[in-house]
Amino acid sequence: MQEAGKMVAGPFLDFPSSRACWHPLFFLALEALLTGSSWSCPSRCHCSSQDRSVFCNRRRLTTVPGGIPPESELLDLSKNRIRTLHQGMFSRLQPLKELDLSENIISNIEPGAFNSLQKLMTLRLKSNQLKIVPPGIFTGLPNLTILDISENKIVIFLDHSFKDLFNLRRLEAGDNHLVFISPQAFSGLLRLQQLTLERCNLTGVPQLALAQLRHLVELRFKVLSIRALHNYAFQRLRRLDVLEIERWPFLATLEPHSLSGLNLTSLAITKCNLSTIPYEAFRHLAYLRFLDLSYNPISVIHGKRLSDLLRLQEFHLSGGRLTTIATSAFQGLNYFRLLNVSGNALRTLEEGVFHSVGNLEILRLDRNPLACDCRLLWIIRRRRRLSFGGQQPACASPTTVKGKVFKDFSDVLLPSHFTCRKSNIPDKTPQWVSVQEGGKATLTCRGEGDPHPTIYWVSPHNIRLDSNHKGHVRVLADGTLEIDYTLAQDSGAYQCVASNAAGNDTLVVHLRVDNGIPIQPSTGSRLITSAWIPTTRGTGSNFNRSETFPPPLIDVGTLVGVLAMGFLPFLSSVSVCFVFIFFWSKSKGKVKHHATFEFVPHYSHASWNKPRGGGSKFAMKLM
């Protein structure tokens, strides 16, 4: 018996050495035999007993094939011709954990079709013909965590469409014909964390429906026709961490409180129509680390407007119309490490833009018309430690270095590389500008330098006036200061400042606003529009702050007019007083019209010693 046992065991002992001679199906059958399993596979499917998977995709099936092993955990029926899911169709497949029905022609799901799939965790119904999700079709799926119903023809989500999926974590519902989401459509999704809605016909954020998703962490809205994000659109999504808004071609406005109630760490609003950064909508996002505004027609990043985003680490604004990043644009951002502004219209990026360039790790400046002057010298000095994301920036000017990428510059720069020429105001002729109150004043100032200087003005009240100033005072692109409707308080000395990276130059212009008395230019003055400017001999004369305006010339006609204007009100006042006294006396009733007066004659100096008793009396009648 022992020998027999050895003879029986012998072939199994030699099994590994002769394994290559056997067909693989033999080993599957042998495995099933040794484990006592009754694993089988439908003839039109491919099965894997090791993974407990059955693949019946691309088989032109119109229904679920028979003979699927009841122990199966994955069933792939995608890319077939299944039209209807009948009640009890999967009743034999209770251990199933993943079911893929994508790319069929399913237009009808009977209630109870998934009743027996208590362990199912993933259900894919992508690319079918569903037009509605009636309540009750997902009954019997208590452990479902992923549901994909994207790329169907669903036009509405009714109330309680997903009420039985209380363990669902992820819902893909994009590429449908959605026009309306009922306020209670998402009720029951108590643990939903990820929601995607894209390529549908929604014209507004379904605020009431989203309010049901108290545990939502990631929300993706893509390819929608919404024009504005209104206040409190996401008010109750307090656990939302990631918000992506992509391809809303008409989105031009984010109202100041549109993101109120959110505590995001990642925000992307890309391929929309924002012309300015919505600073007010962002300012409360103190925990934001990632901000992407790429492919929006934004032209300016203003200074000190993002300082409330204390934890911001990455800012992306590629593919836009960016021409200016103002000084201190990222001031206060201690953790800032990545800036991507590739594919814009930037000519420069100054070191003062950042809170600290020592923290900067990645800088994407490629595909910008960069002017390689002294403003970019800090990048050249740091280019060994700074990553450009695999895309080297290149110079667009001056012509001597046009097209040259930053890595090709030597460590010892030539004197003509990355240099600037200080700002200069060539015409320093002192200006005295005089206008009538209510008129328009124009103050001119021209600067030159390399790079071309920016012009701003300082008012007599020490207020900076630049192109961003609002009100009746504005600075034009060429540096001209215009005051549309002058007031008396606009008078005073205005200082023009021409500024670039190499230095500043200044010019003082005096403005006088007259309030009613016409001013005529004195002899030897030249008029410029509404102003007069005294001529000076020679060039380059310095302005003397002690110089005063010439005295106004007042003619006789003006003086007579002023006196007449004062006399008429006086005469009117006296007349009114007499009329008042007349009516007041009439109101006192009857009075005596006779009176007796004792008259004491006036004596001369010589007769002062005469007795005083010699007075006279006479009577008079009051008319």
Q: Please check whether residue 73 lies inside any domain of the structure.
A: yes
pLDDT band (50, 70, 90) for residue 617: low
515 and 562 part of one domain: no
Question: Angle 103-187-142 (CA atoms, 0-180°, nearest 5)?
Answer: 60
**Residue 462 Cα to chain centre, angstroms:** 31
CA–CA gap between residue 227 and residue 204 (Å, rounded)? 8
Q: Please check whether residue 190 lies inside any domain of the structure.
A: yes
62 and 204 part of one domain: yes
525 and 604 part of one domain: no
Q: How far is CA 16 from CA 5, 10, 32, 33, 88, in A?
A: 19, 12, 18, 18, 45
Q: What is the mean pLDDT of residues 166-174?
A: 95
Domain finish residue from 217, 233, 263 = 217
DSSP string, 140-186: T-TT--EEE--SS---EE-TTTTTT-TT--EEE--SS---EE-TTTT
568 and 492 part of one domain: no
- Helix (H) or strand (E) holding 10, with range, is helix 2-13
70 and 177 part of one domain: yes
Residues in the chain: 623
Domain count, the chain: 3
521 and 581 part of one domain: no
Look up residue 119 and give its two tokens: 């362990």
Q: Which residue has the higher pLDDT, 552 or 447?
A: 447
Identify the burial level of 521 via C-beta atoms within 10 angstroms of its C-beta, where 0-12 means exposed, 13-18 middle and 19 or more buried.
middle
Q: Which domain holds residue 479?
A: 425-534
442 and 589 part of one domain: no
Domain finish residue from 500, 534, 568 = 534
Q: Please check whether residue 281 lies inside any domain of the structure.
A: no
Domain finish residue from 188, 217, 246 = 217
Model confidence pLDDT, tens digit, residues 107-165:
999 998 999 899 999 999 999 999 999 888 999 999 999 999 999 999 999 999 998 89
CATH number at residue 470: 2.60.40.10
Give the lowest-confidence range in 225-229, 277-281, 372-376, 558-562. 558-562
Nearest to 235 by CA among 268, 204, 213: 213
Read off φ and ψ for residue 134, nearest 5 degrees: -70, 150
Q: What is the mean pLDDT of the chain?
A: 82
563 and 519 part of one domain: no
Q: Please check whether residue 124 lies inside any domain of the structure.
A: yes
Q: Looking at residue 136, what is its pLDDT?
A: 85
Q: Are 421 and 502 in contact (CB under 8 A)?
A: yes
Q: Please check whether residue 404 lies inside any domain of the structure.
A: no
Model confidence pLDDT, tens digit, residues 433-473:
999 999 999 999 999 988 889 899 999 999 999 887 778 89
- Helix (H) or strand (E) holding 473, with range, is strand 473-475
173 and 60 part of one domain: yes
90 and 129 part of one domain: yes
Q: Please check whether residue 325 lies inside any domain of the structure.
A: no
Strands 503-514 and 525-528, sheet pairing: unpaired
50 and 184 part of one domain: yes
Q: Are 121 and 144 in contact (CB under 8 A)?
A: yes
Identify the burial level of 447 via C-beta atoms within 10 angstroms of its C-beta, where 0-12 means exposed, 13-18 middle and 19 or more buried.
buried
42 and 181 part of one domain: yes
Read off φ and ψ for residue 397, nearest 5 degrees: -160, 160
Q: Looking at residue 364, what is its pLDDT?
A: 97
Q: Looking at residue 379, what is its pLDDT?
A: 92
Q: Looking at residue 535, what is its pLDDT?
A: 37
Q: What is the mean pLDDT of residues 588-599?
A: 51
Q: What is the mean pLDDT of residues 190-205?
A: 93
Q: Please check whether residue 257 lies inside any domain of the structure.
A: no
CATH number at residue 50: 3.80.10.10
Q: Looking at residue 38, what is its pLDDT?
A: 52
Identify the burial level of 283 via C-beta atoms within 10 angstroms of its C-beta, where 0-12 means exposed, 13-18 middle and 19 or more buried.
middle
Q: Please check whether residue 341 lies inside any domain of the structure.
A: no
